A = this chain, B = another copy of it.
C-alpha cells in the first residue's frame, strides 16, 4: 500500500522492512549536518596543543553567525519544523538535520517490532570506552516511541524503566529494538533493548506511554 507524505506507516498497512525514520540523504542541510557531526567527533579527538583550535573556534563562530543571520524567528521555525504529519527530521536520535543524533535509522518489521543498527563514537561516551547510560536511555525512549507509531499508537512517555545488564561498547554495531506489547485504555506498554552484533544483551527498557496526540505549533 502506498502512502501520502503525511501518513505514518503502521504494521497493519505497510510491508516488513518499511523505513520509519528519515534516513540522511543528499540534501544540503543533511550534508552540512553530517559534516557538523564529524566536527563534533573530531573536536573530542584532535590534538589539544597543535590543531590550531583558536583559529577553528573563529571559523566555527563565523559559520554559526552566517547560519543565524539566515534563521527566521524561533516561533516561526518551530511551525515550519512541525509542518505536516510525516516523520520528523530534527529529533536528537534519528534526525538527519540534528548533529546531536547519531543518527539512528529505524525499520518496521512484519511481526510488529522496529529495529536499527548504530555505531556510537566518543561523543556518546560514559564509562571509559563505553556508551553513556543516559545515551542508551535516550535511544531506547525514542525507539519505543517509533515502535508505538508502527503499532498505530502515538503519545508522550509517562514512565521509562531502563536496566543496564552490562557496559555497552563504543565503536561496534549495536542493534536497538523496540515493540509495543499491550494497551489498556490510554496506557501503552512497550519494551526494547540494545544488543551487540553477537546478540549480547546490554540494556533493556520497559516504557509506559499515553496514547494521545500532542499539539503541533501553528
> Which of A124-160 touch B at CB < 8 Å?
124-129, 132-135, 137-142, 156-160
Kindly state the separation between the CA atoms of A60 and B64 in the bound complex, as whole angstroms: 11
Kindly state the separation between the CA atoms of A137 and B164 in the bound complex, as whole angstroms: 14
A42 interface residue, CB < 8 Å from B? yes
A182 interface residue, CB < 8 Å from B? no
A162 interface residue, CB < 8 Å from B? yes
A38 interface residue, CB < 8 Å from B? yes
Kindly state the separation between the CA atoms of A74 and B39 in the bound complex, as whole angstroms: 15
Chain B CB within 10 Å, residue with most, of A34, A39, A158: A39
Are A123 and B92 CB-contacts (below 8 A) given A40-B36, A60-B32? Answer: yes
Contacting pair A92 B125 (CB below 8 A): yes
Kindly state the separation between the CA atoms of A125 and B68 in the bound complex, as whole angstroms: 18
Contacting pair B92 A67 (CB below 8 A): no
Copies of this chain, count? 2
Pick from B45, B64, B124, B132: contact of A42, CB under 8 Å = B64
A72 interface residue, CB < 8 Å from B? yes
Kindly state the separation between the CA atoms of A47 and B59 in the bound complex, as whole angstroms: 20
Chain A interface residue count, Cβ-Cβ cutoff 8 angstroms? 85
Pick from B43, B77, B135: contact of A45, CB under 8 Å = B77
Are A78 and B129 CB-contacts (below 8 A) given A31-B53, A36-B60, A43-B99? Answer: yes
A interface residues with partner B (beta carbon < 8 Å) = 27-29, 31-36, 38-48, 50-54, 56-61, 63-64, 66-68, 70-72, 74, 77-78, 81-82, 90-93, 97-100, 122-129, 132-135, 137-142, 156-164, 167, 171, 214-217
